[in-house]
Amino acid sequence: MSIQQTLEKILRQIKDGMHPSDLVDLVDDLNDAQKKELFSLISNEEAALIIQEMEEFDQVSLIRLLTKHRASSILKEMAIDDATDLLGELHPEEAKDLLALIEEEAEELRDLLRYPEDTAGGIMTTDFIALPEDLVAEDAITRLRELAPEAEIIYYVYVVDAQTKLSGVISLRDLIAAGDGTFLREIMFRNVISVPAHMDQEEVARVVARYDLLAVPVVDEEQRLLGIITVDDILDVIEEEATEDIYRLAGTGEVRGNILDASVFGIARKRVPWLLISLVGGLLSGFVIGVFEETLKSILILAIFIPVIMDMGGNVGTQSSTVFVRSLATGEIENDDVWRYFFREVKVGISMGVFNGIIIALVASLWQGIPMLGVVVGLAMFITISFAALIGTLVPMIFNHYGIDPAISAGPFVTTIKDVTGLLIYFYTASIFMKYLI
């Protein structure tokens, strides 16, 4: 297709009401010049709908293709939470310039920009409907009809008292079902679940999932309603946080934007820092082997069981770290439970150590025909596995205690500690039994 045909196709799809998420796929295939041309042909509203659905990384590069004046006009049309996120991605200078061009909503945007981006305040929108307690149902519905196009969600109607403090919530279905003259105060649900503006987004996601909410109100210290967070943003948070944990657990960084668009160098740069930790860890383990060089020289056969000791310790350590980190993230384990969890995990490690120790002892004795070698390898395996389960839980516990994401610890850090200790245990056991082995 020629450029002209591609553009015409996209413009036709916009007219036909194609969902913005699908339009984004088409826009993604254009080069910068084509994107520029496309955006010169569509309205600010259409542009805003498309940009909102883009990945933040792509939003930024697109906005930079446009004039400041045009960019600010599009920002004005975007949902306020999406506009805030986009401004937060730009350089502070760029954001300032754009904000200067946006008149009316600039103040609101500036307020929202003040919240860290991964907190309740950072992901909330201020486009919500709050009605006073002393309104009657009929008038409330009329107000909703007037306000509906503006507000992000009207499935929940939040009710505030005279001090704009959040006092209740009514679902749209209850409002419709209520008699016309009923005061909101009488039908509202008072135990409304809200979150403070500084709450971490992961925590907010847990609240929304736990109570099956479509939206959750965000309040300040005085319980004044500041904004709302809708469930579609929570879906993104859950996915983002899971991806972040998965990457950290695996010992790798995440590139921004779509992985398919990233450069070889860009990807490598995100991964190499983790590899350098592995490198140091591997060398430390090698150092341990070096220390026991004499032992190894006398009983060369010991080298054969180095990989199985390392692999088993590695798998057990990873299992323990992963289960702990994930259970903590999903709220299955609370901070109060960690010690109880830790001791049970050590028992799991010991029982797996006994089982696998016996297996490897039998394999080693029969394979090499040296029963005492079986004892050494089996014993070392038992200790290594038990210890790996302990380290695999303890290290993330310590990270968590000091407010560092425990997922970071689970990759190269745990690997290094359990490799070094595993090899120490193995060669130390071997050197004790050495006289029976030669």
Among 37, 64, 351, 432, binds its own copies (CB under 8 A): 351
Q: How far is CA 208 from CA 119, 202, 367, in A?
A: 14, 10, 56
136 part of the interface to its own copies, by CB under 8 A: no
357 part of the interface to its own copies, by CB under 8 A: no
Estimate to the nearest angstrom the gap between the alpha carbon of 417 and the chain centroid. Answer: 26
Among 323, 362, 434, 437, binds its own copies (CB under 8 A): 323
SS3 label, residue 197: coil
Q: How far is CA 48 from CA 167, 219, 248, in A?
A: 34, 28, 34
Among 136, 289, 358, 370, binds its own copies (CB under 8 A): 289
DSSP 215: E
SS3 label, residue 125: strand
- The count of residues interacting with its own copies (CB under 8 A) is 108
SS3 label, residue 339: helix
Cα–Cα distance between 322 and 403 in angstroms, integer? 18
Q: How far is CA 256 from CA 60, 244, 261, 337, in A?
A: 12, 12, 9, 35
26 part of the interface to its own copies, by CB under 8 A: no
Q: Within 194-213, which residues bind its own copies (CB under 8 A)? A: 208-213
318 part of the interface to its own copies, by CB under 8 A: yes
Q: At its nearest, how many Å lie between its own copies and the CB of residue 203?
A: 14
Q: At its nearest, how many Å lie between its own copies and the CB of residue 274?
A: 6
48 part of the interface to its own copies, by CB under 8 A: no
Q: Within 86-105, which residues bind its own copies (CB under 8 A)? A: none
Which CB atom, from 58 or from 95, has the smaller least distance to its own copies?
58
Which CB atom, from 66 or from 131, has the smaller least distance to its own copies?
131
Among 113, 360, 383, 394, binds its own copies (CB under 8 A): 360
Which CB atom, from 45 or from 337, has the smaller least distance to its own copies?
337
Which CB atom, from 98 or from 170, has the smaller least distance to its own copies?
170
3-state DSSP: the chain helix, strand, coil percent, rounded to 5? 70, 10, 20
Among 8, 287, 401, 404, binds its own copies (CB under 8 A): 287
The pair phi, psi for residue 196, each rounded to 5°, is -75, 150
Among 4, 8, 9, 19, binds its own copies (CB under 8 A): 19
CA-based torsion, 229, 231, 236, 239: positive or negative: positive
Surface-to-core class of residue 139, CB atoms within 10 Å of its CB (0-12 exposed, 13-18 middle, 19+ buried): middle
Q: What is the H or E stretch that residue 225 is in? A: strand 225-230
Among 106, 130, 136, 144, binds its own copies (CB under 8 A): 144
Among 71, 95, 310, 380, binds its own copies (CB under 8 A): 310
Cα–Cα distance between 309 and 318 in angstroms, integer? 14
- Cα angle 169, 172, 177 (rounded to 5 degrees) comes to 110
290 part of the interface to its own copies, by CB under 8 A: yes
Which CB atom, from 99 or from 234, has the smaller least distance to its own copies?
234
Q: Within 329-348, which residues bind its own copies (CB under 8 A)? A: 330, 332-333, 337, 340-341, 344, 347-348
Q: Within 237-276, which residues bind its own copies (CB under 8 A)? A: 238-239, 242-243, 245-247, 249-252, 258-260, 264-265, 267-268, 271-272, 274-276
Q: Which stretch binds its own copies (CB under 8 A): 4-12, 62-70, 80-88, 325-333?
A: 325-333
CA-based torsion, 18, 22, 25, 28: positive or negative: positive
Beta carbons of 380 and 311 less than 8 angstroms apart: no
